[in-house]
Chains A and B, each alone.
Chain A
Amino acid sequence: MDVIFGVPLPLLLGQLVLGLINGATYAILSLGLAVIFGMLKVINFAHGAQYMLGAFVAWMMASWLGLGFWYALVLAPLVVGAGGIVLERVFLRHLYDKDHLFGLLFTFGFALVAEGVFRYYFGSTGQIYTNPIPGGVRLGFMFLPHYRIFIVVMALVICFGTWFVIERTKLGAYLRAATEDPVLVRAFGINVPLLITLTYGFGVALAALAGVIAAPVQNVSPLMGSHVIITVFAVVVIGGLNSIMGAIVTGFALGVIEGLAKVFIPEMSNTVVFVIMAIVLLLRPAGLFGQEQ
């Protein structure tokens, strides 16, 4: 058996793939946080809850309506995103001119409500979601399930699609301009409030999409959101919220580092992201890709 640094190769590669998958979740979630923060200047604490909602809507579609994964992949983000639009229109909208921390506290409250309701109805053990693409590839040194390849490819498509829309299209130019100076952009006749609403809806839909994708590899549990969101916050502090590409790269990189930590320093696998955050804060306080505003 091949051994690298005293670790069997299959184990190492297996954790690397797992790390990439976690990194895919981190990347999509921190991307959503960055997009929302750019327009709304609100840290969406409900992001984890909306990720959980995405997974649950997919699970409900499968077990109550018999709609399979591919339907859920499209419909669940739409449903949860529409919920996000309502939340923005009815509540968040009125907080933009207040201190930024109120947006954080409001979305935190929403996350508590969502988690509490789902814990009441579904317990905290979690539901199983069937793998939509069973089977895998034998690579000789390891077995690579098809679904894991799908996750990584899908995440790359989503991330770079979003990056392309924001950085390379006219709509994206409006968005970036509205982030810089909303008043001026409004003066040009662009409906900035609508843009803000749609941005929030899109960010929430991204979180839900990450939830749907994660459903077959994780237990669909009410706790899945609050668990991942704090790590994603650390990712966002490391990468900075100003750069779309920064959020994507940092997300994937930290997933992989976490995977490697499971092999080489297992006792630190839960905390390695936070240690890296501390080091980055010491060496480059503005974050790897950010500049202090």
Chain B
Amino acid sequence: MFANPRKILIGLALLAIALAAPAFVYPVLLMKVLCFALFASAFNLLLGFAGILSFGHAMFFGSAAYVSAQTIKVLGWPTELGILAGGAIAAVLGLVVGALCIRRKGIYMTMITLAFAQMLFFVFMSAPFTGGENGLQPVPRRAILGMIDISNDRVLYYVVLAIFLAGFGLIYRVIHSPFGQVLKAIRDNEPRAISLGYDVDRFKLIAFVLSAGLSGIAGATKAVIFQLASLTDVHWGMSGEVILMTLVGGIGSIFGPLLGAAFIVGMQNQLAGLGEWVLVVQGLIFMTLVMVLRAGIMGLMSDLSRWVSKLRASR
């Protein structure tokens, strides 16, 4: 998977940090970061590599949260099955919505995703099982595979880390596969991809379903961690947040969404007591990034490293 030894070292160092982290940071916060990192990576698969801006990814995240909460709490399913069910439902939803979306292009596609997400929000708001404003809670934390007790936050952290690594690994593989190359070709020049004989709509749809399904896994896991699925998870604000995370980290970079998720979750944690100002700060970050830093943190870092190497070369 990793070609050169430097990358392997960086990868191992990151893994070591991830394994040791709960000793230093509150595990629930770390789990939240991991969940949103997976969500943002799944979103980035669509925006960064297929060029599709979805403004409705909350519908996949939130639906899966409700499905896993419902199956685990009310139907008594095992935790791992509930999470998979959430991901599966989100993927099916992605198939339906994606098939409709790709009938239009560009900015229209974005508005369509937003509209469908809003429709789902209303459906969940009035559906009897969702508990309305209170949400669906408390979701019991049943032992994984009947033997790993996840009532302990630290144990659950390692389970969530495993889910994240599996999801992230899949995204990494997809991006570096021939399929991912075709996606990038479509993003950069759709007419050319069509003329080369690729069934563009099919590729877009598969990317949409993958992204939706993985967003669903993230949402379902979130429901297990916080033992809650609520309207916040399907609200358009959630769709905006995942865009913000990806934008902060760097659209189209592989590790960018992880940084972005950590940054935004950390910021929300710091500003939690300030209520409405979180919204204002998020809006200001959006405006600033779009004006001056469209490539996000990863873009800034590659600019810096280029600058440093240029400086070295000139000496």
Q: A260 interface residue, CB < 8 Å from B?
A: no
Distance in angstroms between the alpha carbons of A108 and B116 in the assembled complex? 18
| CB-defined contacts of A116 to chain B, threshold 8 Å | 276-280, 282-283
Task: Check A234/B284 contact, CB under 8 A, given A120-B277, A270-B122, A270-B126.
Answer: no
A-B contacts counted at CB < 8 A amount to: 117
Distance in angstroms between the alpha carbons of A119 and B275 in the assembled complex? 10
CB distance from A62 to the nearest CB of B (A): 24
Chain A contributes a number of interface residues (CB within 8 A of B) equal to: 43
Report whether over half of chain A's contact residues are helix, strand or loop; otherwise say mixed: helix
Distance in angstroms between the alpha carbons of A116 and B282 in the assembled complex? 10
Distance in angstroms between the alpha carbons of A282 and B100 in the assembled complex? 7
Asked whether, in the complex, the Cβ of A113 is within 8 Å of the Cβ of B118, the reply is no
* Of B2-10, B107-115, B150-158, the one touching chain A: B107-115
Asked whether, in the complex, the Cβ of B104 is within 8 Å of the Cβ of A274, the reply is no
| CB-defined contacts of A234 to chain B, threshold 8 Å | 111, 115, 118
Q: A178 interface residue, CB < 8 Å from B?
A: no
Q: B132 interface residue, CB < 8 Å from A?
A: no
| CB-defined contacts of B279 to chain A, threshold 8 Å | 112-113, 115-116, 119
Task: Check A110/B287 contact, CB under 8 A, given A104-B110, A120-B277.
Answer: yes
Asked whether, in the complex, the Cβ of A104 is within 8 Å of the Cβ of B240, the reply is no
Asked whether, in the complex, the Cβ of A237 is within 8 Å of the Cβ of B287, the reply is no
Q: A277 interface residue, CB < 8 Å from B?
A: yes
Q: A267 interface residue, CB < 8 Å from B?
A: yes
Q: B53 interface residue, CB < 8 Å from A?
A: yes
Q: B18 interface residue, CB < 8 Å from A?
A: no
Asked whether, in the complex, the Cβ of A117 is within 8 Å of the Cβ of B280, the reply is yes
Distance in angstroms between the alpha carbons of A282 and B103 in the assembled complex? 8
Distance in angstroms between the alpha carbons of A108 and B53 in the assembled complex? 13
Q: B308 interface residue, CB < 8 Å from A?
A: no
Asked whether, in the complex, the Cβ of A285 is within 8 Å of the Cβ of B104, the reply is yes
Chain B contributes a number of interface residues (CB within 8 A of A) equal to: 39
Closest B residue by C-beta to A268: B122
Asked whether, in the complex, the Cβ of A105 is within 8 Å of the Cβ of B106, the reply is no
Task: Check A101/B240 contact, CB under 8 A, given A271-B123, A281-B103.
Answer: no
Asked whether, in the complex, the Cβ of A108 is within 8 Å of the Cβ of B240, the reply is yes
CB distance from B147 to the nearest CB of A (A): 43
A238-274 contact mask (Cβ, 8 Å, vs B): 1 or 0? 0000000000000000000000000000010011011
| CB-defined contacts of A108 to chain B, threshold 8 Å | 240, 243, 283, 286
Q: B194 interface residue, CB < 8 Å from A?
A: no
Asked whether, in the complex, the Cβ of B286 is within 8 Å of the Cβ of A109, the reply is yes
Which of A109, A120, A236, A286 is the one whose CB lies under 8 Å from B290?
A109
CB distance from B295 to the nearest CB of A (A): 12
CB distance from A88 to the nearest CB of B (A): 13
Q: A292 interface residue, CB < 8 Å from B?
A: yes
Which of B115, B243, B283 is the one whose CB lies under 8 Å from A237?
B115
Q: B145 interface residue, CB < 8 Å from A?
A: no
Asked whether, in the complex, the Cβ of B290 is within 8 Å of the Cβ of A113, the reply is no
Asked whether, in the complex, the Cβ of A101 is within 8 Å of the Cβ of B110, the reply is yes
Distance in angstroms between the alpha carbons of A291 and B286 in the assembled complex? 32
Q: B105 interface residue, CB < 8 Å from A?
A: yes
Q: A120-B280, A236-B111 are in contact. List 17 more A-B contacts (CB 8 A).
A: A43-B107, A91-B291, A100-B106, A101-B53, A106-B291, A109-B290, A110-B283, A110-B287, A112-B279, A112-B280, A113-B279, A234-B111, A234-B118, A237-B115, A270-B126, A274-B118, A286-B104
The chain B residues found within 8 Å of chain A, CB to CB, are: 53, 100, 103-108, 110-112, 114-116, 118-119, 122-123, 125-126, 236, 240, 243, 247, 275-280, 282-287, 290-291, 294
